[in-house]
Amino acid sequence: MIVCKFGGTSVADGAAIARAAAIVAGKRDRQPVVVVSALGGATNDLLDVAQRAANGNLLVALSIVESLRQRHLTTTATLLDGSPERDDVEAEVSAGLDELAHLAEALSTLGFVTPRSLDSVAAIGELLSSRIVAAAFRHRGLDAEWVDARDVTITDDNFTRAAPDLPRIAAATRERLRPIVQAGRVPVVGGFVGATPSHITTTLGRGGSDYSASLLGAALEAEAIEIWTDVDGMLTADPRLIPTARLIDRIRFDEAAELAAFGAKVLHPSTIAPAVQRGIPVYVFNSRRPEGTGTMITFDAPRYPVRALAGKRDKTLVKLRSARMLLAHGFLGAVFAVFDRHRTSIDVVTTSEVSVSVTLDDASNLEAIVADLSAFGDVSVEQHRGLVAIVGAGLSDGAQTMAQALGALGDIKVHMASLSATGLNFTLVLDDAQVNPALQRLHATFFPEPA
């Protein structure tokens, strides 16, 4: 059994859904379970409907409802042309959008949104897309069956970020999904959407369809999870900066997590953790180029000194110098408490006997942070800094990688450097303007063009 998850761009319209059907048809003998996102961008529109209705713009909200209706009906008509199911699916789509219009009216009377009402609205995207996809698959000869995500993805009631209830999901997938697969049929489930044990609709949080796929795959003990998206897989660097960036064939979960923290956007590792932790490989494939080999993410892919590079710009560097730090204990705890108090997370840290330097992702509370830190010593702030991260599980296996990295940088000034003791990443703080040149030099060194 495998789980094939199609993201919003892979089910954006009739043509995309037809491609997804062909991909699934080619995997029939592997017993696929299909998880789908809402039609690309639909979730944003749905949340917009809720906000605008609650803010008193009911007419605008209802016009968005109508454009969503048109889009879903056009997609249905394109896919189900000549299908005996077309009328039924169109009626279901219209009923879903009528319900949305009623919710919008209720929210406009209420004048505010609650997390629970937001989930009822947002869930409509996947509930509709999964119905359309199931019918489109059937029309293309796949024996597909729609399964209501709210019957299988059972969660707590932490609306808009609900936590999965693993034992209940395991029981529900056994009862609802396994028999369909065993009968040789293909279940189609909406991602992102869930329900409490008492059947109140919830969602797993934005981007939650990958999480659904991973949860259902783990519960079903699937052989693999396939995430079908609009990129070829994970690359050795951002291809917009490094046109020679290469596809990574295999990557370790912890390396993928580091890259995501540095802004790689393919998928959020926490959402695939339930599967990877159970030893289930997660693949990323491009639904526009299904012949590609993709990226395989596992716990124990081979160790390489350098697997990928990532960069981030527009960072603030804060330096604190204090003689009081010398031989004192508890000092760092007190310093970090300042950042905690101002809800600011730190990217990179270095310390010496008399100084601490950190970079901040978000400098919106900078003034207050500097004021509080000044109680400990001299504080200085440097803006326009950037980070370059060299990621690889085998980074410190040998002695040469660090020397190669610093050698490649040449005359680029390094303000700060941090080598994680876990050997996963070597992070350099540079001038903002040097991030791209540094990435280019490092990429040429660690991923040379084949001669």
Q: d(Cα 130, Cα 35) in Å, to the nearest integer?
A: 8
Does residue 207 belong to the site contacting Mg ion (CB under 5 A)?
A: yes
In the list 207, 290, 394, 423, the residue contacting ligand ASP (rule: CB under 6 A) is 207
In the list 209, 236, 425, 427, the residue contacting ligand ASP (rule: CB under 6 A) is 209
What's CA 420's distance to the chain center, in Å? 24
* Partner in contact with 276, chosen from ligand ASP, Mg ion, none, beta carbon below 5 to 8 Å by kind: none
* Partner in contact with 38, chosen from ligand ASP, Mg ion, none, beta carbon below 5 to 8 Å by kind: ligand ASP
Using an 8 Å Cβ cutoff, are 67 and 35 in contact? no
Does residue 41 belong to the site contacting Mg ion (CB under 5 A)?
A: no
Taking residue 394's Cβ as centre, other Cβ atoms within 10 Å add up to 17
Q: At its nearest, how many Å lie between ligand ASP and the CB of residue 129?
A: 8
Q: At its nearest, how many Å lie between ligand ASP and the CB of residue 44?
A: 7
Does residue 190 belong to the site contacting Mg ion (CB under 5 A)?
A: no
Closer by beta carbon to ligand ASP, 8 or else 392: 8
Closer by beta carbon to ligand ASP, 231 or else 391: 231
- Of 21-29, 73-81, 202-210, 327-335, the window that binds ligand ASP (rule: CB under 6 A) is 202-210
In the list 43, 229, 236, 295, the residue contacting ligand ASP (rule: CB under 6 A) is 43
Closer by beta carbon to ligand ASP, 178 or else 288: 288
Question: What residues contact residue 403 under an 8 Å CB cut-off, 6+ apart?
Answer: none
Q: d(Cα 25, Cα 362) in Å, to the nearest integer?
A: 46
In the list 31, 37, 76, 359, the residue contacting ligand ASP (rule: CB under 6 A) is 37
Q: d(Cα 317, Cα 360) in Å, to the nearest integer?
A: 6
Q: d(Cα 70, Cα 85) in Å, to the nearest integer?
A: 18
Angle at Cα 20 formed by Cα 267 and Cα 83, nearest 5°? 145
Taking residue 434's Cβ as centre, other Cβ atoms within 10 Å add up to 22
Closer by beta carbon to Mg ion, 7 or else 233: 7
For 127, 153, 194, 202, the CA distances from 157, given in Å and listed in that order, are 19, 12, 10, 7
Q: At its nearest, how many Å lie between ligand ASP and the CB of residue 33?
A: 16
- Of 129-137, 206-214, 216-224, 415-423, the window that binds Mg ion (rule: CB under 5 A) is 206-214
Q: d(Cα 153, Cα 36) in Å, to the nearest integer?
A: 13
Q: Which of 356, 247, 358, 369 is nearest to 308 (CA)?
A: 247
DSSP letter string, 189-247: EESSEEE-TT--EEE--TTTHHHHHHHHHHHTT-SEEEEEESSSS-BSS-TTT-TT--B
Q: At its nearest, how many Å lie between ligand ASP and the CB of residue 353?
A: 47
Q: Which of 105, 115, 78 is nearest to 93 (CA)?
A: 78
Closer by beta carbon to ligand ASP, 208 or else 386: 208
The DSSP secondary-structure symbol of 315 reads E
Q: At its nearest, how many Å lie between ligand ASP and the CB of residue 16?
A: 13
The DSSP secondary-structure symbol of 377 reads S
Contact pattern from residue 5 through residue 24 relative to ligand ASP, giving x for each residue in contact according to CB under 6 A and a dash for the rest: --xx----------------
Residue 352 Rama label (left phi>0; alpha psi -120 to 50; beta): beta
Does residue 190 belong to the site contacting ligand ASP (CB under 6 A)?
A: no
In the list 3, 7, 144, 428, the residue contacting Mg ion (rule: CB under 5 A) is 7
- For the chain, the helix, strand and coil percentages under 3-state DSSP, each to the nearest 5: 45, 20, 35
Q: At its nearest, how many Å lie between ligand ASP and the CB of residue 110?
A: 24
Instruction: Characterize the bridge pairing of strands 224-229 and 2-6.
Output: parallel
Q: d(Cα 369, Cα 281) in Å, to the nearest integer?
A: 42
Q: At its nearest, how many Å lie between Mg ion and the CB of residue 207?
A: 5
Contact pattern from residue 114 through residue 143 relative to ligand ASP, giving x for each residue in contact according to CB under 6 A and a dash for the rest: -----------x------------------
Q: At its nearest, how many Å lie between Mg ion and the CB of residue 210?
A: 6
Closer by beta carbon to ligand ASP, 31 or else 202: 202
Q: At its nearest, how many Å lie between ligand ASP and the CB of residue 215?
A: 13
Does residue 38 belong to the site contacting ligand ASP (CB under 6 A)?
A: yes
Binding residues for ligand ASP, rule: CB under 6 A, are 7-8, 37-38, 43, 125, 191-192, 206-209
Binding residues for Mg ion, rule: CB under 5 A, are 7, 207
